[in-house]
Structure 1
Amino acid sequence: MTENDLSVEAITSGLETRFVGQRTIYFPSLTTTMDVARQEALEGAAEGTVVIADEQTAARGRLQRAWITPRGNIALSVVLYPQRERLHTLIMVASLAVSHCIETITGLRPEIKWPNDVLIRGKKVCGILIESDVRADRVNQAIIGIGINVNLDVDTLPEIQSIATSLSHELGREVSRLSLVRQLLEELESYYLESSSGDTVYEQWQKRLITLGKKVRAASATGKTVLEGIAESVDRDGSLWLRLEDGSLTRVIAGDVTLNE
């Protein structure tokens, strides 16, 4: 077995977590890990259950966009049961965990584009999706989906060359998926536990944001509302404050943000 061969035993053996990844379900190929993780949660899966696949054939990112996940990359979903007041921190937890994991294993310095894209040298290397089922004040389940371009040959995909990259492309060598996955699960648990006390996760996330201070274009999920202005700050709930050309401030809760270079 090479370091890039994933298996339940390879991932979980000696994994230094209390619950994240201690139950891991592996598939050689899957439409999307999110669907399986959601079903696992409905059936009462333990918190921290991880669904991971070597390949996803019908993955999607935020705003229902397709996400390419051929073999050699990372595609996983994690089942969590957070308190309602912590739900907004999951995007911070996930993007920080991915950023720190990449930095630790590769030495690269990722940045976060609001709210949850992880970039290297201005190009997307990771997509994150958070889905939750909330009834009244109770979170029945929350699923974090993470897709990382690890050994993706972007040179063979001209349609994404200008906007996406991979760790192997940046380093000029193959990167161990197993090392990344194990580090990622440990980082996810660490930041998730940290998010329950104080604002340290919010503060770290804010420092990693490449968006702040930049001129941006913010589009609503439907694309019908488009705003342009300077990304001024982010609230503790993750929302973005945009300074418009007329000097007014407006709050962006969700949508797609593009940096205007």
Structure 2
Amino acid sequence: MNSIRKAALSCILTILAITSVAAKDKDDLHQTIKAIAAKFEAMGVGASYVTAKGKPVVQQVSFLQEKDLTFPVNGNLRQIALIRHGEPDLRKTGKFSYMEARKFAVDYDSVGIVTPDAPFFEIQNPKEVAVFASSINRARATAQYVFGADSQMTVSPVFREFETAMGEHSPSLRMPIKFWTTAARIKWVLGIDRQGAESFADARRRAQEAAQILVSASADRPKVALVAHGLLNRYIQENLEDMGWHVVRDGGSGYLGTTILVKLDS
């Protein structure tokens, strides 16, 4: 009986020790992620703005480098940057008829961007960074602006924006373009008048696939950058967080908005 009690007590102590170590590791990870996020915030405070046509458009940003880490990092630090494309170079003000809105939707996928006067994303060692871009022109043009036209990058339709369709109905209205695009997106999410576009469920599965591609790339290079689109990036971010990645810089949803996530591998 004593031997059984001793074995049970030993088992309980082992479980308590393992639980304690796991709790400490989790706390250490939480504190490290907080420190990394604080570092990005501090970098943002002193960052200057890049301009386009004389107006400030985006703050300068970069990945963290080893020299930036003034705290111990126990493990391999991987970073993924999700960058939204720059502002498309076409008219968005005023009111549009239905047919003008349809043409806008087509042009939106084919035009270039309003190129800022200087690069806003600093890359100190290009060999450390795996670059991906959407096949849609506004994102591809942004990637070439950010990383250089001659830089190596993977351009794929997997990273294209969630598809929408203006539909076949043509109400006789003149409304801001935001009205037409929002209405089209709502109809698409509800599965109304899709006109052959992929479903919302299929688009979400594609975002999951895109997230996995970025994670796989980060196993070979510690820094990964994707230049894509607002809605796609949002769902990629959700998938990355589900896989244990942490947002340390939230760049918002504006043009050239850059969100950075990190993961520490022990």
- Specify the TM-score bucket, using the shorter chain as the normaliser: under 0.3
| TM-score where L is the length of structure 2 | 0.21
Which structure ranks higher in relative contact order (CA pairs < 8 Å, sequence separation ≥ 6)?
2
| TM-score where L is the length of structure 1 | 0.22
Structure (1/2) with the larger helix percentage: 2
Rg larger for: 2
Structure (1/2) with the larger strand percentage: 1
